Structure 1
Amino acid sequence: MRGGAAIGAALGTLAAFLGEIRAPEGLLLLLIVAGALAGAFAVGRRILSVGAGGLALLLSLCLLTPVSRGPLNALVLAQLPQQADAIVILGGGVQCGTRTLEGSSQARLLAGLELWRAGFAPVVTVSEQSDVFSATCPKMSDIEREIIRALYPQGGPEVLTLTSVTTTRDEAARVRELAGQRNWTRILLVTSPSHSRRAAGIFAAQGLNVVSVPAPETRFDYTLPLPSDRLRAVQVVLYEWLSRAKQSVGGTPER
């Protein structure tokens, strides 16, 4: 019984890690306890044992070979940039303790500014995260504006803020409002490669004419040469699949 409970708790923890579940500590604890309770009973132990064996085989395959390269590439929508009215830089997160941008946010911001410097659009947007997950974090949009001002003290791009957003759908809704007010006919959408196809679909569903121009991936090597790169790729693929599944049943898509 104790062994089954330990396996269940471990699988709950692994699920939270691989799925990048973004939830308060209480909900994460509930997931771990639910796994432990499932493993405490004979039927649950059998199910968990089979699931753990299958998961071990799958993860071993993904760690030892670049088999996840295909699913990973299927998440990407990369198009050539075109003249547009605005460059929409999607939020990727902020480190609350150090008050700095996460790596994905930094990459997206720099990629968007490169498009502006190349003359593809005169306006860039940045995202201000809502207080849903943390009201004590600095606003991502404030940090990005500071970076832009430091890089371009004079003659920088016009910067608009998408206020109080929690998800990509929120960002799309804010951009739709701006497009209506400013008569935008085309936007360049900048996000991480693995997020690009889903994000473009969410924006297109709002009636926006989108050109997807992903930023470089900074979290891992997209060619997956190392086991660490492959593990991160598995995590990214699972996160995107879970977000699609949540969206398909009427839930709110994640960032």
Structure 2
Amino acid sequence: MTLSSFLTNLVIPLNLCIALLLAGAILFIVRWRKTAFIVAAAGLSWALFWSLPASSLWAGGRLEQLYPYQMPSSLPTAQAIVVLGGSTANARQNWFQPYDSATASPRIDTAAILYKENRAPLIVVSGAALEGSVSEAQVMANALKQQDIPESAVLMESRSFTTHENAIYTAEKLKQRDIKQILLVTSALHMPRAMAVFKKQGMSAVAAPSAPQIVVPSDPSFSFWQPNMRALAASRSIVKEYVGLLVYWVRGWI
């Protein structure tokens, strides 16, 4: 397990809450009762904080707004479109609402729209096989074919398991073709880290994020301050981005 993965799994709200409650129980048993209550309270507070929609809107929304969404037709042309594998909140249209396949918008759809708007003549799909034998790049290439994107316009990078590797291996392929100007496609939440690593690899990247997901729903019963299990479960994506930015900065990858 990498350092980034370890830290991310450790500070995921539910995981850290359980770990601190267990630590509190042990401290209580060994009669460090005041410390035990403090540790347990810290764990419960961490989980409570991330169960509040207001917390996701503040922390996650801040990342999404660093590279605001733009209509594909308003973006500049480039030499290639690069789309990264992965999914944030199951590509839901809204972070706080149930998954609906009819309204879900995967990253690959954004890349297809950009291609059809003649923003670039080539799409690079990047991502290894996280499970099984079929890479994310191949899955995305298949999805593009279903949207009538010609196979000749798709280039696959199937070695990368992390955002850092996405940038390294994709940059290698692009530089072989003398391509440096790209439109970078990923989720709005993931875009700050993705842009930083691609620029570190010498790419001239323009952010072309999918539409933001961490937005206030139209449901009149929605409450900013009522604990929400969906918000708690999805908060791991926000935590992952903040930990990833820290680790990537420490390691000199951004």
Asked if these proteins are the same fold (TM beyond 0.5), I'd say yes
2-structure distance, mates of 1:40, 1:127:
45
User: Is contact 2:135–2:158 with CA below 8 Å preserved after alignment?
Assistant: no
- Structure 2 residues without counterparts, runs of 5 or longer: 1-7, 93-103
Q: Secondary structure at the match of 1:210?
A: strand
2-structure distance, mates of 1:233, 1:224:
15
Q: Secondary structure at the match of 1:45?
A: helix
User: Is contact 2:127–2:158 with CA below 8 Å preserved after alignment?
Assistant: yes
2-structure distance, mates of 1:107, 1:157:
22
**1:70/1:245 CA distance change after superposition, 3 Å:** same
Considering only aligned residues, what root-mean-square deviation do their CA atoms show, in Å? 3.6
| Paired AA for residue 37 in structure 2 | R
Deviations 1:49-107 (A, max 9, x none): 231353255246x24xx3542322321213652110000000015xxxxxxxx647961
**1:241/1:106 CA distance change after superposition, 3 Å:** same
**1:182/1:16 CA distance change after superposition, 3 Å:** closer
Deviation at 1:234, TM superposition (A): 3.5
User: Is contact 2:197–2:253 with CA below 8 Å preserved after alignment?
Assistant: no
Aligned to 2:46: 55
Deviation at 1:137, TM superposition (A): 4.8
| Paired AA for residue 175 in structure 1 | T
**1:17/1:110 CA distance change after superposition, 3 Å:** farther
- Correspondence 1:187 to 2:186: no
**1:148/1:172 CA distance change after superposition, 3 Å:** same
User: Is contact 1:224–1:230 with CA below 8 Å preserved after alignment?
Assistant: no
Q: Secondary structure at the match of 1:55?
A: helix
| Paired AA for residue 108 in structure 1 | R
Deviation at 1:205, TM superposition (A): 1.1
2-structure distance, mates of 1:81, 1:222:
22
| Paired AA for residue 236 in structure 1 | S
**1:18/1:174 CA distance change after superposition, 3 Å:** same
Aligned to 2:3: none
Deviations 1:203-246 (A, max 9, x none): 111111010010125xx552256465644664332221121222
**1:20/1:190 CA distance change after superposition, 3 Å:** farther
**1:147/1:237 CA distance change after superposition, 3 Å:** closer
Aligned to 1:236: 237
Aligned with 2:134 (options 130, 135, 138) = 138
Q: Which has the higher contact order (CA 8 A, sep 6+)?
A: 2
2-structure distance, mates of 1:208, 1:223:
34
Q: TM-score, normalised by structure 2?
A: 0.69
User: Is contact 2:20–2:39 with CA below 8 Å preserved after alignment?
Assistant: no
1-structure distance, mates of 2:44, 2:147:
52
Task: Show the 5 A alignment for 1:36-115.
Answer: 36=22, 39-42=25-28, 43=32, 45-55=36-46, 58-59=49-50, 62-63=52-53, 66-76=54-64, 77-78=67-68, 81-92=75-86, 103=91, 107-115=106-114
Identity score, percent: 22
**1:33/1:233 CA distance change after superposition, 3 Å:** closer
- Correspondence 1:152 to 2:148: yes
Q: TM-score, normalised by structure 1?
A: 0.69
Aligned to 1:223: 216
Aligned to 2:12: 19
| Paired AA for residue 125 in structure 2 | V
1-structure distance, mates of 2:124, 2:115:
11
User: How many aligned residue pairs are there?
Assistant: 216
1-structure distance, mates of 2:24, 2:9:
16
Aligned to 2:168: 173
Q: Secondary structure at the match of 2:127?
A: strand
Deviations 1:25-55 (A, max 9, x none): xxx8xx9678635531234623422313532
| Paired AA for residue 71 in structure 1 | A
173-182 or 200-209: bigger deviation: 173-182
